[in-house]
Chain A
């Protein structure tokens, strides 16, 4: 079984070797960025993109919550068809 797996893996190695060779290990850089002493919470510590995504999420949440309350008010009353 193991021999079969190894011989099959040879046919699979080729298409994978080029795609996996190009990625370098950048974890150390990320560790430096996220351990910087800047008092930023983890959800904003990655940079300006974090802020943008957070604001977008919160905006849709708050807008949607207000809209859902409006819909509740609208649905509570009869409307002529």
Chain B
């Protein structure tokens, strides 16, 4: 009698935490070699091992949950706590950049001309592409909710359509934001305005890309029948992350694009 008599998940020993830590070493030392000695080999090794680790670790989680049945209700509860805590940590991450923005914009330095936007900075019109981007992300929030309800109702085709719509909107946002970056009359080097603008919106854009990738993985899993109408936590986690990305954008839009112009 060697089977477990509890509902928790005792994971198999895994090499991915170790390879993940090693890839972090290669990424950091790789950046040093690139910045100071113009060599990209270590950085390339770091990026590849990071991607390999992420792929295999998450692949194993799908195997443990969908194929081996380890994600019992109590285990799923733990996964929910984990995702909530992770998103909370990301909220604090963005809070720092908003703090920096408000610190500099609420009492603009003499060197900036004592005003915000600083003298010489011509901010983007908040009623043009940024407003469109707001509409796009809000619409994607609606479509992902549609996808979730379709999934819970068992409407497979509708779920796939709604999720594809969400992903398409996310990609549209990314493309528009990239063109905005290209066309902007100011750069990251243009004083504190440029720094706060591009670091805050830049990290947001990175999170949109990460969120879109998470949704694409969910789409692939849905196509392969991994999700059931009652058990689809991977999708819920992706949806939570996507709503978080949307909310951060709303704060960015109101603070930096609108009030900050």
Residues of A that sit less than 8 Å from B by CB: 5, 9, 12-13, 16-17, 20, 23, 25-27, 30-31, 33-35, 41-43, 45-46, 53-54, 56-58, 60-65, 67-68, 71-72, 75
Given that A13-B161, A25-B225 are contacting pairs, would A53 and B52 also be in contact in the complex, using a CB cutoff of 8 Å? yes
Cβ contact of A33, chosen from B42, B60, B67, cutoff 8 A: B67
Contact, CB under 8 Å: A64 / B49: yes
Contact, CB under 8 Å: A30 / B66: yes
Contact, CB under 8 Å: B60 / A42: yes
Cβ contact of B224, chosen from A13, A23, A45, cutoff 8 A: A23
Contact, CB under 8 Å: A16 / B12: no
Contact, CB under 8 Å: B158 / A23: no
Query: Which residues of chain B from 64 to 123 have any CB-CB distance to chain A below 8 Å in the complex?
Result: 64, 66-69
Contact, CB under 8 Å: B224 / A61: no
Complex interface: chain B residues within 8 A of A26 (CB): 224-225
Contact, CB under 8 Å: B146 / A5: yes
Separation of A27 and B221 alpha carbons in the complex (Å): 11
Majority secondary structure, B binding face: helix
Which 5 interchain pairs have the tightest Cβ spacing? A41-B12, A34-B67, A64-B45, A61-B22, A25-B225
Complex interface: chain B residues within 8 A of A43 (CB): 12, 14-16, 56, 60
| B223 interface hit (Cβ, 8 Å) | yes
Query: Which residues of chain B from 189 to 235 have any CB-CB distance to chain A below 8 Å in the complex?
Result: 223-226
- B130-171 vs A, CB cutoff 8 Å, 1 = contact: the mask equals 000000000000000010000000001110110011000000
Complex interface: chain B residues within 8 A of A46 (CB): 63
Complex interface: chain B residues within 8 A of A12 (CB): 161, 165
Contact, CB under 8 Å: A17 / B157: yes
A25: min CB distance to chain B, Å:
4
Separation of A25 and B226 alpha carbons in the complex (Å): 9
Of B29-37, B179-187, B241-249, which stretch is located at the interface? B29-37
Chain B residue nearest in CB terms to A79:
B37
Contact, CB under 8 Å: B67 / A35: yes
Complex interface: chain A residues within 8 A of B16 (CB): 43
| B26 interface hit (Cβ, 8 Å) | yes
Cβ contact of B13, chosen from A16, A41, A67, A71, cutoff 8 A: A41
Contact, CB under 8 Å: A71 / B223: no
| B41 interface hit (Cβ, 8 Å) | yes
Separation of A17 and B158 alpha carbons in the complex (Å): 10
Chain B residue nearest in CB terms to A17:
B157
**Known pairs A20-B156, A31-B66, A53-B52 / 18 extra A-B pairs, C-beta < 8 Å:** A16-B157, A16-B161, A30-B66, A31-B69, A35-B68, A42-B60, A42-B64, A46-B63, A54-B15, A54-B56, A58-B19, A60-B49, A62-B22, A64-B26, A67-B41, A68-B30, A71-B42, A72-B29
Contact, CB under 8 Å: A60 / B146: no
Complex interface: chain A residues within 8 A of B226 (CB): 27
